[in-house]
């Protein structure tokens, strides 16, 4: 194998190790293993029709050429996306730093304190700027955040209102068109009615339950909504406000004028526009709505010894537990981007943020005055960053557009011959003069020359924020680059990521995120493009989209692909809505039953409910397979109303079910469509595919199988592939025609999180047909090798007909509990002492661990992991045999934090060495843990989701007092 072949870098085991592993598991060859693991009736007969893999160097040239086809203009379109300056210290040390981008969602709090703190900072910024009480650690984008707000208001209706069937939400017409479209998509299947109108004419009527407005509104106007909020509240209607977070450093925050929910985007806090994403949306609410909050909330709690610690709060609301009772399907969100936005606020502090906002507003005010002098009329009385003009006597929109394009600028145009400009952080004196030149030329006058930019404020005093914000220490301490660098590094050291050791999370596919795949993300040709520019300015992107869609269609066996959904769960929702639209187009409106196996990921039933479907659960047999008789009975029982089956393949139990073709046929015979959850595509690529198996639609988690990193909980990309008959229903976009006429948009941006798509593109181009297939084979081999090594100690819960697992396996842990009291949680925590992130805990089967090594892990690393698990097994045996105490043992006390290990007092029956260095090789690369096991219940009882608040102080003081009293 030539050393410059990417496949040899992507795949962990060397050739001789592959043979060694095949030997160990008793497989004659790779082909023989595949034949044993994958049912023959679904095997592809031909290799994938994709180009051969290219080298990293060849790919680098190719992606450079593509990037060069994108044109980066100065863009003043606004509409929720603004150019911004990513501070280089954040760009280099967060965005380009694999510790930050390869870590997983911080479920294992003790080894995630760094990103938990970064996300807590993000939450603090949001609460401080919006004036609200609680918030989460990001949502997917502003438009879906609006939809979540609608849902929370709907779910929180007062009892009587719900009884009366209140189902109308009033939406001010001056809201972003993309927000409007997503609201329409989301409202329709639930029977929620959207009433669009001018907020000044709003009259709460009987069936109203909520109001949605935007601040500043979509024309750029700042309005006083106090009277509106009062009117709504009199009738117990809640008010949700879409807000520009940066503007709130100058404007009175919605929390101060009565808003119940505030949502929006944090993109302009240092996150590149990236032709639409990814960026973090925010969502803030009143304390009373905390049980209904979508997404993940980071909260403060204490560890087993009373030390302050962070963790994800209210996990009992998580969708995998609430399933069809979940109020949202958000799983992967935008953690990495939220982290960046939080750091941006830390670096600038309240003064810096305010200065940026004032500078933007000052330039907008200056331009408003100067352009009026040229004969145009500026139409926004009070504005933050957006000014809107009607034409000067001889000017026209056409001329303005022509002249602005000549100077490589994009403005926003309205149907009624008006033009608008949104100023951003990057706008400078030179830009101002270019803009004036365009307006002057179009009006046939001479432009004035501006020599300096005064900071003036033209906003009516009544709208201005009074009082301070972001007074917490963290927003004061790190203003020099040196201090900021060290702060980022300090947090980084608290987190386990792929830079430390394998992360064997089943169903999450924590594979290599190759540096070559990641590099283009840093380029302005991908980052600097607004999603609503004329498409010819994004020619490179469109070339990439076209090839990527074709390649993903080939890989999935489908006819077409939509790149719009921003996560796997968002893909599920999009796919179900496509199925729904298909049934409706055939006059079968009554088809609304979704059959879902009991083993499904919680997002499946949650998405089905959001798509207006009724969930019918089908059982699994004792071997973990879907009970085909039960499935047939249910499909037949609901044959008149069956919409679809949602099936994960290979199943979440880690096996290729042999009956899958039959299962799909049963659904089709009864008039349903087959939705495949593609989270486990890493076991399919090149060997089989959803189209061949019989599915009609499937989402792909590009952040699992296709090498986009997890970012500590996002970004994700969840494109959907569909069979030919479903193409007409793929999601459209209201601002930029994306070639579709199907359901309205499911995301704010026409092509979703475009700027991370080069990662997947690079992954496919560099691996090529044979490399992709090889990756799947090695992923399956690695899993079977681990299963073989661990089966005697732990037991493998499910295997296929020939005794093989797919690309992951479930380790049995329930038998330890009766004899020793040790649970899967103790094992997970003990692994941290060895420097490992736990496998997936208690999903899909309670009391178990699900392990997925991926193809990227070497034999050496897997052997270390096995050694750790075998040592833990021996430690459990010590308890069983009475050699270790049932309560005071290395497992129950795990993880062992640094401050305990070095403490002068050591109260345990076992030694410090055993606690911290249970194996010799741990010494070489010890991951020191800063907190002991976190106390989830304490944090949930005292929910605090911002840092340094008076509430936090009060709780810790109380803690101190109780501790002192008990001493
Ligand atoms: C990860 C996963 C999902 C959800 O995907 P997100 O991208 O996190 O929204 C759904 N189903 C399965 C089986 C998964 O593993």
Quick check: CB of 679 below 6 Å from ligand 1? Answer: yes
CB 261 within 8 A of CB 152: yes
Ligand 1 nearest-atom number relative to CA 571? 9
- Dihedral sign from CA coordinates of 317, 321, 323, 329: positive
In a mutational test of the pocket of ligand 1, which residue from 278, 568, 646, 839 has the highest number of ligand atoms less than 8 Å from its CB?
568
Contacts of 224 (CB under 8 A, 6+ apart): 462, 463
The Cα 272–Cα 530 span in angstroms is 9
Residue identifier of the C-alpha nearest atom 6 of ligand 1: 568
Quick check: CB of 507 below 6 Å from ligand 1? Answer: yes
Task: Give me the residue label for tokens 């709504």.
Answer: 232
Question: Hey, what are 749's tokens?
Answer: 């941006």
900 shares its domain with 759: no
Ligand 1 nearest-atom number relative to CA 704? 1
Three-class DSSP category at 262 = strand
Task: Give me the residue label for tokens 């009074």.
Answer: 466
Question: Hey, what are 66's tokens?
Answer: 């593509």
818 shares its domain with 887: yes
For residue 596, the CA-to-ligand 1 centroid distance in Å is: 15
* Dihedral, CA of residue 817, residue 822, residue 823 and residue 825, to nearest 10: 180
CB count in 10 Å sphere of residue 738: 19
In a mutational test of the pocket of ligand 1, which residue from 140, 296, 335, 507 has the highest number of ligand atoms less than 8 Å from its CB?
507
Quick check: CB of 319 below 6 Å from ligand 1? Answer: no
Ligand 1 nearest-atom number relative to CA 701? 7
- Whole-model pTM? 0.98
Residue identifier of the C-alpha nearest atom 7 of ligand 1: 568
DSSP state of 464: B
Residue identifier of the C-alpha nearest atom 15 of ligand 1: 507
Task: Check residue 789 and give its pLDDT.
Answer: 98
Three-class DSSP category at 180 = helix
559 shares its domain with 448: no
Three-class DSSP category at 134 = strand
In a mutational test of the pocket of ligand 1, which residue from 701, 709, 720 has the highest number of ligand atoms less than 8 Å from its CB?
701
The Cα 335–Cα 101 span in angstroms is 9
Quick check: CB of 332 below 6 Å from ligand 1? Answer: yes
Q: Are strands 642-648 and 593-597 parallel, antiparallel or unpaired?
A: parallel
For residue 766, the CA-to-ligand 1 centroid distance in Å is: 25
For residue 717, the CA-to-ligand 1 centroid distance in Å is: 11
Which residue in 513, 358, 343, 371 sits closest to 435, CA to CA? 371
What pLDDT, in 10s, does the model give residues 620-646? 999 899 999 999 999 999 999 999 999
Distance of CA 933 to the CA centre of its chain: 26
Residue identifier of the C-alpha nearest atom 5 of ligand 1: 568
Question: Hey, what are 316's tokens?
Answer: 């009992």
CB count in 10 Å sphere of residue 917: 16
Residue 778 falls inside a structural domain: no
826 shares its domain with 922: yes
Three-class DSSP category at 158 = coil
Quick check: CB of 852 below 6 Å from ligand 1? Answer: no
Quick check: CB of 677 below 6 Å from ligand 1? Answer: yes
480 shares its domain with 561: no
DSSP state of 95: I
Question: Hey, what are 214's tokens?
Answer: 């935007």
For residue 704, the CA-to-ligand 1 centroid distance in Å is: 9
Residue identifier of the C-alpha nearest atom 3 of ligand 1: 568
For residue 383, the CA-to-ligand 1 centroid distance in Å is: 41
Please report which helix (H) or strand (E) contains residue 918, including its range. none
Residue 247 falls inside a structural domain: yes
Backbone angles phi, psi at 809, to 5 degrees: -150, 160
Residue 522 falls inside a structural domain: no
CB 281 within 8 A of CB 142: yes
Quick check: CB of 653 below 6 Å from ligand 1? Answer: no
The Cα 174–Cα 101 span in angstroms is 36
Quick check: CB of 342 below 6 Å from ligand 1? Answer: no
Rg (CA), the chain: 28
Q: Are strands 134-135 and 281-285 parallel, antiparallel or unpaired?
A: antiparallel
Cβ burial, residue 177 (10 Å; 0-12/13-18/19+): middle
CB 385 within 8 A of CB 77: no
79 shares its domain with 133: yes
> Consecutive 10-residue runs of the chain (967 residues): their mean pLDDT?
82 98 98 97 97 97 98 98 98 98 97 98 98 97 98 96 97 98 98 98 94 98 98 97 98 98 98 98 96 94 95 79 87 97 98 98 98 98 98 96 98 96 98 98 94 93 96 97 98 98 97 98 98 98 98 98 98 98 98 97 96 97 94 98 98 94 98 98 98 98 98 98 98 96 97 98 98 98 98 96 96 96 98 98 95 98 98 98 97 98 97 98 97 94 87 76 69
Buried b (16+ CB within 10 A) or exposed e, 380-411: bebbbbbbbbebbeebebebbbebbeeeebbb
| CATH number of 857's domain | 3.90.1150
Task: Check residue 447 and give its pLDDT.
Answer: 86
Ligand 1 nearest-atom number relative to CA 569? 9
Length of the chain: 967
- Round to the nearest angstrom and report the end-to-end CA distance of the chain: 67
Residue 306 falls inside a structural domain: yes
For residue 243, the CA-to-ligand 1 centroid distance in Å is: 29
Quick check: CB of 652 below 6 Å from ligand 1? Answer: yes
Task: Check residue 953 and give its pLDDT.
Answer: 75
Using CA atoms, how far residue 449 sits from 423, 442, 453, 629, 801, in Å, is 18, 16, 11, 80, 79
For residue 712, the CA-to-ligand 1 centroid distance in Å is: 14
Residue 614's region, left for phi above 0, alpha for psi from -120 to 50, else beta, is: beta
128 shares its domain with 62: no
Quick check: CB of 569 below 6 Å from ligand 1? Answer: yes
Question: Hey, what are 294's tokens?
Answer: 């979508």
Dump strand ranges (E) for 102-253: 134-135, 168-172, 193-197, 208-215, 238-243
Question: Hey, what are 89's tokens?
Answer: 């210290």
For residue 812, the CA-to-ligand 1 centroid distance in Å is: 22
Quick check: CB of 601 below 6 Å from ligand 1? Answer: yes
The Cα 458–Cα 365 span in angstroms is 6
Ligand 1 nearest-atom number relative to CA 572? 10
729 shares its domain with 859: no
* Dihedral, CA of residue 888, residue 889, residue 894 and residue 897, to nearest 10: 70
Question: Hey, what are 114's tokens?
Answer: 């760094």
CA angle 210, 216, 219 (to 5 degrees): 105
Q: Count of domains in the chain?
A: 3
For residue 52, the CA-to-ligand 1 centroid distance in Å is: 30
Order of strands, edge to edge, in the sheet holding 386-390?
A: 377-378, 386-390, 418-422, 412-413
Residue 943 falls inside a structural domain: yes
CB 517 within 8 A of CB 763: yes
Quick check: CB of 715 below 6 Å from ligand 1? Answer: no
In a mutational test of the pocket of ligand 1, which residue from 679, 715, 756, 810 has the highest number of ligand atoms less than 8 Å from its CB?
679
Residue 625 falls inside a structural domain: yes
465 shares its domain with 550: no
- Of 714, 734, 768, which residue sits at a domain end? 768
Quick check: CB of 942 below 6 Å from ligand 1? Answer: no
61 shares its domain with 159: no
864 shares its domain with 917: yes
Task: Check residue 319 and give its pLDDT.
Answer: 64
Cβ burial, residue 963 (10 Å; 0-12/13-18/19+): exposed
Question: Hey, what are 594's tokens?
Answer: 């979704």
Backbone angles phi, psi at 852, to 5 degrees: -135, 110
CB 342 within 8 A of CB 947: no
For residue 301, the CA-to-ligand 1 centroid distance in Å is: 27
How crowded is the C-beta side of 693, counted as CA atoms within 13 Å?
32
CB 80 within 8 A of CB 176: yes
Question: Hey, what are 388's tokens?
Answer: 């809107």
The Cα 682–Cα 680 span in angstroms is 5
Residue 897 falls inside a structural domain: yes
CB 675 within 8 A of CB 572: yes
For residue 331, the CA-to-ligand 1 centroid distance in Å is: 7
User: Which domain, by its residues, includes 727?
Assistant: 50-66+534-768
Quick check: CB of 808 below 6 Å from ligand 1? Answer: no
- Dihedral sign from CA coordinates of 17, 20, 24, 27: positive
Residue identifier of the C-alpha nearest atom 2 of ligand 1: 679
CB count in 10 Å sphere of residue 379: 17
In a mutational test of the pocket of ligand 1, which residue from 601, 678, 690, 709 has the highest number of ligand atoms less than 8 Å from its CB?
601
The Cα 383–Cα 362 span in angstroms is 11
For residue 227, the CA-to-ligand 1 centroid distance in Å is: 43
For residue 706, the CA-to-ligand 1 centroid distance in Å is: 14
The Cα 872–Cα 867 span in angstroms is 9
Which residue in 140, 121, 81, 120 sits closest to 714, CA to CA? 140
Please report which helix (H) or strand (E) contains residue 492, including its range. helix 481-492
- Of 768, 800, 834, which residue sits at a domain end? 768
Task: Check residue 800 and give its pLDDT.
Answer: 94
746 shares its domain with 816: no
Residue 340 falls inside a structural domain: yes
Quick check: CB of 683 below 6 Å from ligand 1? Answer: no
Residue identifier of the C-alpha nearest atom 11 of ligand 1: 601
| CATH number of 174's domain | 3.40.640.10
Residue identifier of the C-alpha nearest atom 14 of ligand 1: 679
């Amino acid at each position: 194998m030539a050393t410059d072949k990417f496949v040899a870098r992507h795949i962990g085991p060397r050739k001789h190790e592959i043979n060694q592993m095949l030997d160990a598991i008793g497989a004659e060859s790779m082909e023989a293993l595949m034949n044993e693991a994958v049912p023959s009736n679904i095997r592809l007969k031909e290799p994938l029709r994709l180009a051969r893999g290219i080298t990293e160097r060849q790919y680098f040239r190719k992606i450079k050429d593509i990037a060069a086809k994108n044109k980066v203009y100065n863009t003043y379109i606004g509409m929720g996306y603004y150019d911004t300056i990513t501070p280089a210290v954040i760009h280099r040390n967060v965005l380009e730093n694999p510790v930050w981008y390869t870590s997983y969602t911080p479920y294992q709090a003790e080894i995630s304190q760094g990103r938990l703190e970064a996300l807590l900072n993000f939450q603090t910024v949001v609460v401080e700027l919006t004036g609200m009480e609680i918030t989460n650690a990001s949502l997917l984008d502003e438009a879906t955040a609006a939809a979540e707000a609608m849902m929370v208001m709907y779910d929180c209706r007062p009892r009587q209102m719900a009884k009366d069937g209140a189902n109308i939400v009033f939406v001010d017409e001056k809201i972003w068109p993309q927000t409007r479209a997503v609201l329409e998509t989301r409202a329709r299947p639930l029977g929620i009615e959207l009433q669009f109108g001018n907020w000044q004419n709003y009259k709460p009527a009987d069936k109203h339950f909520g109001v949605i407005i935007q601040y500043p509104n979509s024309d750029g106007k700042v309005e006083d909504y106090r009277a509106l909020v009062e009117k709504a509240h009199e009738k117990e209607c809640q008010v949700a406000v879409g807000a520009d977070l940066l503007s709130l450093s100058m404007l009175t925050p919605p929390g101060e004028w009565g808003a119940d929910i505030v949502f929006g985007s944090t993109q302009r806090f240092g996150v590149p526009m990236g032709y639409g994403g990814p960026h973090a949306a925010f969502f803030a609410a009143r304390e009373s709505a905390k049980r209904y909050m979508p997404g993940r909330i980071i909260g403060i709690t204490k560890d087993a010894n009373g030390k302050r610690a962070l963790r994800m709060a209210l996990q009992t609301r998580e969708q995998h537990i609430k399933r069809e009772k979940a109020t949202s399907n958000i799983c992967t969100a935008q953690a990495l981007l939220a982290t960046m936005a939080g750091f941006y606020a830390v670096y600038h502090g309240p003064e810096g943020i305010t200065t940026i906002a004032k500078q933007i507003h000052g330039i907008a005010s200056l331009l408003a005055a100067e352009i009026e002098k040229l004969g145009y009329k500026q139409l926004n009385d009070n504005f933050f960053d957006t000014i809107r003009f009607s034409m000067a006597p001889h000017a026209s929109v056409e001329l303005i557009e022509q002249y602005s394009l000549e100077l490589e600028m994009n403005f926003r145009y309205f149907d009624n011959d008006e033009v608008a400009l949104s100023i951003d952080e990057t706008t400078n004196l030179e830009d101002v003069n270019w803009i004036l030149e365009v307006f002057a030329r179009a009006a046939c006058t001479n432009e004035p020359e501006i020599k300096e930019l005064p900071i003036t404020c033209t906003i009516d005093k009544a709208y201005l924020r009074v009082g301070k914000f972001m007074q917490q220490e963290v927003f004061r301490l790190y203003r020099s680059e040196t201090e900021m660098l060290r702060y980022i590094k300090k947090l980084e050291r608290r987190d386990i990521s792929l830079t430390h050791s394998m992360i064997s999370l089943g169903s999450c596919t924590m594979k290599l995120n190759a540096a070559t795949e990641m590099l283009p993300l840093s380029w302005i040709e991908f980052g600097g493009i607004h999603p609503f520019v004329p498409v010819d300015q994004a020619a490179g992107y469109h070339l990439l989209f076209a090839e990527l869609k074709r390649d993903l269609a080939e890989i999935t066996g489908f006819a077409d692909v939509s790149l719009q959904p921003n996560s796997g769960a968002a893909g599920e929702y999009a796919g179900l809505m496509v199925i729904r639209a298909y049934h409706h187009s055939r006059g079968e409106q009554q088809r609304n039953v979704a059959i879902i196996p009991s083993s499904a990921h919680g997002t499946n039933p949650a998405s089905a409910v959001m798509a207006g479907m009724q969930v019918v659960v089908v059982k699994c047999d004792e071997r973990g397979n879907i009970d085909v008789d039960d499935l047939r009975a249910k499909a037949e029982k609901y044959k008149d109303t069956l919409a679809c089956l949602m099936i994960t393949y290979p199943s979440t139990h880690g096996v290729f079910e042999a009956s899958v073709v039959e299962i799909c046929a049963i659904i089709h015979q009864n008039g349903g469509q087959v939705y495949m959850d593609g989270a486990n595509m890493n076991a399919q690529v090149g060997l089989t595919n959803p189209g061949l198996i019989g599915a009609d639609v499937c989402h792909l988690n590009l952040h699992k199988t296709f090498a986009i990193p997890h970012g500590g909980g996002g970004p994700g990309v969840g494109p959907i592939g569909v069979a030919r008959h479903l193409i007409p229903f793929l999601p459209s976009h209201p601002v930029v025609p994306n070639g579709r006429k199907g359901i309205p948009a499911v995301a704010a941006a026409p092509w979703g999180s475009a700027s991370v798509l080069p990662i997947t593109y690079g992954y496919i181009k560099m691996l090529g047909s044979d490399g992709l297939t090889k990756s799947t084979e090695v992923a399956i081999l690695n899993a079977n090798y681990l299963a073989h090594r661990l089966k005697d100690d732990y037991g493998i819960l499910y295997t296929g007909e020939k005794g093989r697992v797919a690309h992951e396996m479930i380790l049995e842990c329930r038998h330890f509990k009766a004899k020793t009291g040790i649970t899967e949680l103790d094992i997970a925590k003990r692994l941290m002492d060895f420097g490992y992130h736990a496998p997936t805990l208690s999903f899909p089967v309670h009391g178990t661990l699900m392990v997925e090594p991926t193809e990227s892990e070497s034999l050496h690393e897997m052997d270390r992991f096995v050694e750790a698990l075998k040592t833990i097994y021996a430690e459990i045996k010590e308890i069983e045999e009475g050699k270790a105490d049932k309560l005071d043992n290395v497992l129950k006390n795990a993880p062992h934090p640094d401050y305990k290990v070095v403490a002068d007092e050591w109260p345990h029956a076992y030694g410090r060495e055993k606690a911290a260095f249970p194996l010799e090789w741990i010494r070489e690369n010890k991951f020191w843990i800063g907190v002991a096991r976190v106390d989830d219940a304490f944090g949930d009882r005292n929910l605090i989701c911002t840092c340094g608040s008076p509430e936090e102080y009060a709780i810790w003081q109380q803690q101190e007092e109780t501790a002192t009293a008990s001493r």
